[in-house]
Amino acid sequence: MFGSRPEIIYIIAAITGIIILLFNVFPIINTFYWTDSETLIETLFDREVIASIWLSVKCASITTIIAFLLGIPLAYYLARHEFRLKALIESLIDIPMVIPHTVAGICLLTVLSPRSIVGQFLEQNNIETLGTEIGIVIAMLFVSMPLLIDAAKDAFKWVPTRIENVSRSLGANQVQTFFGITFVLSWRGILSGMIITWARAISEFGAVIILAYHPMIAPTLIYERFTTYGMKYAIPANIILIIISVIIFIVLRLISLGGKEKYDSRS
């Protein structure tokens, strides 16, 4: 900053920042004016609404745990190794982020339908996916797992290889080094990735309705009420989902930032 007048770039940033914040927050806040407290309280005791929100939270949480268990080893490998097909593999991992979610749902349906080998195998083993919670989790996992892998990969890259080398040279094997050093140091980045994955999963709609219209997750229920009864009946459930999602998101964010490690030089 030179002199007392702010630099032009900061003025532009302030203006665009206000536009972006309004763009993000105004439609959400505006929803609250479309209902009244009485309807809202009534909806709070609507079993169908509560069940659908609970299903959304449960499936998004299971999705995040599965994404964590499957994604972390791969993210670590990609962060630590260079190989010929790496760029291709990274692109394949990110594919679900670039295809429309209803398209993703149809792709998954072709795999899970009883006409496919996978579908037949699942059917023979009495595993139902279509129209079940399993189907919801599969749809959520498909669209949200790349976010966790990418976040974890960046978090692992931030930990210097040399710090792992030192640990190995001091007698810790690869697993002990991973859990004792690398994972601890990258935990915050991974947790941020898990929060984004959870948020992406809970907001998923397009892929889920293709695989499992029923049981209804909250976005499906809101969509159904909107198309069947109109705005008036869709908005209270909408507001409740917004409130619950935002509260969980904020709590998780606070956990990830809480006790922001004193040792983190990025802070």
Q: Which CB sits closer to another protein, 4 or 169?
A: 169
Q: Give the nearest distance from C-beta 162 to another protein in angstroms.
A: 5
Q: Which CB sits closer to another protein, 139 or 152?
A: 152
Q: Which CB sits closer to another protein, 35 or 167?
A: 167
Map tokens 């594919």 to a residue. Answer: 95
Rounded to the nearest 5°, which phi and psi values hold at 146?
Answer: -55, -35
Q: Give the nearest distance from C-beta 80 to another protein in angstroms.
A: 13
Q: Give the nearest distance from C-beta 124 to another protein in angstroms.
A: 44
User: What would the two tokens of residue 55 be?
Assistant: 């299903």
Q: Where are the alpha helices (DSSP H) in the chain?
A: 8-31, 37-44, 47-80, 86-98, 101-112, 117-124, 133-158, 161-169, 174-177, 183-202, 206-211, 218-229, 231-257
Report the alpha-carbon distance of residue 253 to residue 265 in Å, rounded.
19
Q: Which CB sits closer to another protein, 150 or 164?
A: 164
Rounded to the nearest 5°, which phi and psi values hold at 11?
Answer: -65, -45
Q: Which CB sits closer to another protein, 16 or 174?
A: 174
Q: Give the nearest distance from C-beta 166 to another protein in angstroms.
A: 5
Q: Give the nearest distance from C-beta 17 to another protein in angstroms.
A: 31
Residue 238, CA distances (Å) to 50, 71, 99, 104, 225 in order: 12, 31, 26, 24, 10
**Using CB under 8 A as the criterion, which residues of the chain lie in contact with another protein when the complex forms?**
160, 162-163, 165-173, 176, 181, 184-185, 261-265
